[in-house]
Amino acid sequence: MSSSRTARLLGAALIGALALTACGSGGETTTSSSAPSSAAQDTGPRTITDATGAKVTVPANPKNVVALAETDLDAAIALGVTPIGASKSRQGDSVAGYLSAKVPNVKLVGEIVEPDIEAIAALDPKPDVILYGHFIEPDPAQLADLNAIAPTVVTSIVSDDWKTSLKGVANALNLSAKADEVLKDYDKKVEETKKALGANASAEVSLVRWNPQGPSYLQKQHFASTVVSELGLKRPQVQQTDGTGPSEAVSLEKLDVLDADWIFLGTLNSDGAAALAQAEQNPTWTKLKAVGAKHVVTVDGVPWTSRGGPIAAGVVLDDIRKALGSA
């Protein structure tokens, strides 16, 4: 009776604990696994090797694309494709805010990592290709269901960075040349941003996500961390832990872990203001040197704390330039 209630509560508590750690880190070094196809001129179906090594036969120029992961949606849009279906983002009932204007007619086909198979099957026009780039291990049963609807390409594996994911998406869409252009543009933008930083070119920046239970920092291999390091900006030594995700929540007693010349602060509710309000409730927050210097920059946590993509990377570069740039 009450013991079953207790068990339920305990179960809920444990599930909560697992959920807390579910966004933990998988700190492996990245290995590129998608072999770009050179068949750019073919008009017939192409057989490609996806990120898991599986052979998938896809149409030469897929028109109707479903992107199940935010990173694939970002990459597909950057490659000039407008997906017809996508998953809801982490923070609400639409695709990620920073992408929604670019895909006004997209149909929502399930939650992140929980594609709604029926919704995908009901899409009109029918999908030519489904892009499956999750931040969890691919689920064979899910893949089988999806493949029954349309060729499904696993575009990246868990440890892949955004550039590898982009190449995986390009491979599926037969746009590898376009992907190279996108990457070149990104490199150019990095150089421009570097120049604009002026005196702040070697500043130390802290990347913080404020969650309901407290803050976490973005770990070494996290998407936004890689953009920051390509800019030549430094990160505090304590934030150099291995991992592609945000860290475990930092205890409110150890907020000094978050200190640097500049703090970029975001939440998933794309509401930096709320994050700042929560941070400012802690007296220890005001002691940080970045806070004293008014060097706290609130940013949209959705692109910043995502797995990234060319558009998200552009947002990060723009935000940094706006905050640190002298120009």
Neighbouring C-alpha atoms within 13 Å toward the C-beta of 42: 16
Q: Could you tell me if 70 and 50 are in contact, meaning their C-beta atoms sit under 8 angstroms apart?
A: no
Q: Does 116 bind another protein (CB under 8 A)?
A: no
Residue 302 dihedral angles phi and psi, to the nearest 5°: -65, -60
Closer residue to another protein, CB minimum distance, 84 or 268: 268
Q: Does 9 bind another protein (CB under 8 A)?
A: yes
- Identity at 222, one-letter amino acid code: H
Place of tokens 């697992």: 18
Closer residue to another protein, CB minimum distance, 162 or 285: 285
Q: Does 13 bind another protein (CB under 8 A)?
A: yes
Longest dimension (CA), the chain: 68
CA distance 268 to 261: 23
* Contact pattern from residue 191 through residue 220 relative to another protein, giving x for each residue in contact according to CB under 8 A and a dash for the rest: --------------------xxxx-x----
Q: Least distance (Å) from another protein to the CB of residue 252? A: 5
CA distance 323 to 147: 45
Q: Which residues within the stretch 224-263 sit at the binding site for another protein (CB under 8 A)?
A: 238, 247-254, 256-257
Q: Does 139 bind another protein (CB under 8 A)?
A: no
Q: Could you tell me if 244 and 222 are in contact, meaning their C-beta atoms sit under 8 angstroms apart?
A: yes
**How buried is 17 (Cβ within 10 angstroms: 0-12 exposed, 13-18 middle, 19+ buried)?**
exposed
Q: Least distance (Å) from another protein to the CB of residue 48? A: 33
Q: Does 91 bind another protein (CB under 8 A)?
A: yes
- Identity at 102, one-letter amino acid code: K
Interaxial angle between packed helices 70-78 and 310-324, expressed in degrees from 0 to 180 and rounded to the nearest 10: 90
Q: Least distance (Å) from another protein to the CB of residue 152? A: 24
* Contact pattern from residue 308 through residue 327 relative to another protein, giving x for each residue in contact according to CB under 8 A and a dash for the rest: --------------------
Considering only 11-19, 79-87, 196-204, 315-323, which stretch makes contact with another protein by CB under 8 A? 11-19
CA distance 153 to 172: 7
Q: Does 293 bind another protein (CB under 8 A)?
A: no
Cβ partners under 8 Å of residue 258, min gap 6:
206, 208, 215, 217, 250, 288
Q: Could you tell me if 138 and 79 are in contact, meaning their C-beta atoms sit under 8 angstroms apart?
A: no
Considering only 53-61, 85-93, 96-104, 290-298, which stretch makes contact with another protein by CB under 8 A? 85-93
Q: Does 14 bind another protein (CB under 8 A)?
A: yes
Q: Least distance (Å) from another protein to the CB of residue 57? A: 35
For another protein (CB under 8 A), the number of binding residues is: 46
Q: Could you tell me if 245 and 22 are in contact, meaning their C-beta atoms sit under 8 angstroms apart?
A: no
Q: Does 283 bind another protein (CB under 8 A)?
A: yes
Q: Least distance (Å) from another protein to the CB of residue 210? A: 11
Out of 284, 318, 323, 325, the residue judged to bind another protein by CB under 8 A = 284
User: 3-state class of 306 per DSSP?
Assistant: coil
Tokens of 118: 């029926």
> Within 10 A of 227 (CB to CB), how many other CB atoms are there?
24
Q: Least distance (Å) from another protein to the CB of residue 73? A: 17
Q: Least distance (Å) from another protein to the CB of residue 173? A: 29
Q: Does 63 bind another protein (CB under 8 A)?
A: no
Q: Give the residues lining the site for another protein (CB under 8 A).
A: 1-3, 5-6, 8-10, 12-17, 19-20, 88, 90-92, 111, 211-214, 216, 238, 247-254, 256-257, 268-269, 274, 278, 281-284, 287
